[in-house]
Structure 1
Amino acid sequence: MHLEPRRAPLRGGRHCIIRQTSREDAAAQLDLERAIVRARHGIVKHEDELPADAAAYAEQRDRAGLTATDGSAICLAAELEGGGLVGEATLLRLKLRMVRHVGILGLGVHPMAQGLGVGRALLSRLLEWARAHRDADGGRVLRVELCVRADNARAIALYRSVGFAHEGTRRGFVRGDDGAFVDDLVMGLSLAPADEGPSLRR
């Protein structure tokens, strides 16, 4: 499984390169996640809950299955031209055969690069892969789902714009830094043709 790097236009005349990640990206990926966590918006982690260094971060991703090369996962990075890694999108498929057609989406953009269209470029390329990929036995991704904090309006708008539907709410699932509870939204997108399964659109 290999995706060729692709140049994607951003707002303001800038561009980024969307490419698959490798184990050598671990340090940059950890720096990206630290920056997102430090911004304290739209996340559910604290900085002391992240791995201590790049080696531990890479091992954590290995254990989670994010570095698999058999089509069970895909991880894409966005690099600004002339800059560093500013975003990442992941799709991790469920392991059990009855739900292997389901992929869990993760998306993160560096706070300093938000609003440029990095997230949309990553999401577009990821969903393109999900629609096109076929396993050796013909299996494929038919459903993509995600969870997003109810107070993350920018992310929710992005997901809705590409067809994700709000399917459920986990009330008070997240406890914010101020102690207030925040709902978590479950959103889903069907990639199945109409004759292969129910549409998730409403």
Structure 2
Amino acid sequence: MHYQPSRVPLRDGRSCVIRQATSEDAAALYALDRAIVRARQGIVKHEDELPPDAATFAAGRESAGLHKTDGTAFPLLVEAEDGGVLGEASVLRIGYRMLRHVGVLGIGVHPAAQGLGVGRLLMQHLLQWVRSHRDADGQRVLRVELYVRADNPRAIALYRSLGFEHEGTRRAFLRADDGALVDDLLMGLLLT
């Protein structure tokens, strides 16, 4: 399973490349994760909860299965002309046979790239890739789900515009930096 890289324009006129993330991208993805956590927007972890280094971060991605090329994982990233990573997104399928048709989506956009269309590009290309994939036995992803903080209206609007529907709420699921309790929303998209 391979994703064909695409050169696409950003809203500011620059171009970027959307391509499959590989294990060689671990250091850049680690730096992206740190930048997102430091910005404190739409994230659920603190900086001291990040892995201590890129190697540990890479090991965590590998143990989650994000390195697999058998249709278990669909990891994409957006790379700027200078080689910096502007964002990443992935769909990771649930391993149990009865749930193999379900993929869980995660996405992160660098704070400096917010508002440039990176998230939308990632989502559109990722969903297209997932829709076109077939396992050797003909099986495929039929449902994609994600979780989003209820206090992240920009992300919620993006997901809704791509067909995701609000399916449930985990009330008072996380505690924000100011101590306020925030709901977490489950959103789903059926690909049938």
Deviations 1:46-96 (A, max 9, x none): 111111111111100111111111100011010112341010001000001
Match of 1:159 in 2: 159
Deviations 1:14-46 (A, max 9, x none): 221000111111111000000000001100001
The two structures, once aligned, show a CA RMSD in angstroms of 0.8
Match of 1:106 in 2: 106
Q: Does 1:8 align with 2:8?
A: yes
CA distance in 2 between counterparts of 1:46 and 1:73 reads: 26
Q: Does 1:129 align with 2:129?
A: yes
The alignment partner of 1:12 has SS state of coil
Q: CA deviation at 1:9?
A: 1.6
Q: Which runs of 4+ in 1 moved over 3 A?
A: none
What one-letter code is carried by the residue in structure 1 that aligns with 2:190? S
CA distance in 2 between counterparts of 1:173 and 1:139 reads: 34
Match of 1:178 in 2: 178
CA distance in 1 between counterparts of 2:167 and 2:89 reads: 21
CA distance in 1 between counterparts of 2:135 and 2:95 reads: 13
Match of 1:199 in 2: none
CA distance in 2 between counterparts of 1:83 and 1:71 reads: 26
CA distance in 2 between counterparts of 1:188 and 1:79 reads: 27
Unaligned runs of 5+ in 1: 193-202
The alignment partner of 1:56 has SS state of helix
State the identity as a percent.
68
CA distance in 2 between counterparts of 1:160 and 1:61 reads: 28
CA distance in 1 between counterparts of 2:66 and 2:24 reads: 14
Unaligned runs of 5+ in 2: none
Deviates more, 1:6-15 or 1:108-117: 6-15
CA distance in 1 between counterparts of 2:83 and 2:11 reads: 16
CA distance in 2 between counterparts of 1:93 and 1:176 reads: 29
CA distance in 1 between counterparts of 2:96 and 2:142 reads: 14
How many residue pairs match? The answer is 192
Using the size of structure 2 for normalisation, the TM-score is: 0.98
Match of 1:70 in 2: 70
Q: CA deviation at 1:158?
A: 0.5
Q: Does 1:36 align with 2:55?
A: no
